[in-house]
Amino acid sequence: MSDQHVDKPVIGITIGDYNGIGPEVILKALEGNQLAKLCTPIIYGSLKVLNQYRNLLDMKEWSLHGIQKADQANHKLTNVITCWQDNQTEVQPGKVTAEAGQGSLAALTRAVEDLKEGKIQALVTGPINKDNIQSEHFHFPGHTEFLAQAFEKEEALMFMVAGELRVGVLTGHIPLEKVKSQITPEKLSAKIEQILQSLKGDFGIKKPRVAVLGLNPHAGENGLLGTEEQDVIQPVIKNFKEKGNIVVGPFPADGFFAAGTYKQYDAVLAMYHDQGLIPFKTLAFNEGVNFTAGLSAVRTSPDHGTAYNIAGKNIAEPGSLLQAIYLACDVSRFHIFNKEMDRNALISKPQQSESQHPAKSGGKQRFN
């Protein structure tokens, strides 16, 4: 591999469940090596599977570059590392199979190993089926929890990003009936701290503004509709304010997004998965990105699932995956830049303004 440039990171992309739309949107996003000026992509999956989809999608004039390991990547081409014995692999678009689940896990495992070893600068994960990927090596409700353990973090933050709209969730992939018990001062404080640190360290926002939603209708209506706001959320917010942070709330969730109040803040913390993701996907479904905050590495993914119902029909849109790649490039470049500055003991680490930071756009960078 040639010398790595700050402005062109190596980005790993996992294939996800190959019977879903993952391979299709990946190929559409990278077709003709159109992102070669922005990054060096390495797809973790199966060259045979991807070639089957190239034929299915009539992309025969564009070839993929098979490699054995990341340091063999060609910076001008789209590289592929085959992560399992794929001689007998046949795609079955739209079908849930054990083989596809095993393949998605093999690709994810190999990519995370390279990410931890610094062989790739960021990871973009294709959509998985959270059922058929389960095994003795994967017993998690999703990517976020798997990555948290891989990087030895007690918990990571699911951070949905689309331009200046950023939504985090206090509780992720858990049943709704368990949400209330998870709303504790310790957990809430940890999530707010993760958001503040990510806004500063990943997005370059010097003085971030964070809005916190309430759990109950009308944010509890002064205890009439629930006491979590008074007992837990308000005291935690007060504590952050006393330390000089701009953390505001709790806001009633029903009108917060409809009224455009979210535009006044750099990020919003919702109490549970659907409270945050329903409005987020309503506002930004085709451009949304799932960014994992709290890791020591960069990970993004599109905000959609496997979409078996349209797999293999050549109608899946690559927009969300493209935004995930753009954001991964922006944040990883920012990390590399800061590390380079830290190495020079004579120059203090610069604080970039919000407008100077490459990830200010939330990943909406375009290539020429």
In the chain, where are the structural domains located?
1-154+292-349, 164-286
Same fold, 1-154+292-349 and 164-286: yes
At 11, is the pLDDT very low, low, confident or very high (cuts 50, 70, 90)?
very high
pLDDT digits (tens, 9 = 90+) for 240-272: 999 999 999 999 999 999 999 999 999 999 999
Res. 44: pLDDT tops 60:
yes
What is the DSSP secondary structure assignment for residue 323, as one 8-state letter? H
How high is the pLDDT of residue 206?
93
One DSSP character per residue, 235-267 reads: HHHHHHHHTT-EEEEEEPHHHHTTTTGGGGSSE
Residue 339 pLDDT grade (very low, low, confident, very high; cuts 50, 70, 90): confident
Specify the CATH number for 164-286; select among 3.40.50.2000, 3.40.718.10, 3.30.420.40, 3.40.190.10: 3.40.718.10
Domain 1-154+292-349 has CATH 3.30.70.270: no
Torsion region of 170: left, alpha or beta (phi above 0 gives left; psi -120 to 50 gives alpha)? alpha
Over residues 163-169, mean pLDDT: 95
Q: Reply yes or no on whether the pLDDT at 361 is more than 50.
A: no
Higher pLDDT, 259 or 1: 259
> Mean pLDDT throughout 88-97?
92
Look at residue 362 and tell me whether its pLDDT is greater than 90. Answer: no
Model confidence pLDDT, tens digit, residues 109-125: 999 999 999 999 999 99
Whole-number pLDDT of residue 350: 52
> What DSSP line would sit under 74-120, residue for residue?
-TTS-EEEE-S--TT----TT---HHHHHHHHHHHHHHHHHHHTTSS
Residue 99 has pLDDT above 70, yes or no: yes
The pLDDT confidence band at residue 340, using thresholds 50, 70 and 90, is confident
Q: Residue 70: is its pLDDT beyond 60?
A: yes
Q: What is the pLDDT of residues 284-300, one digit of tens each?
A: 887 899 999 989 899 99
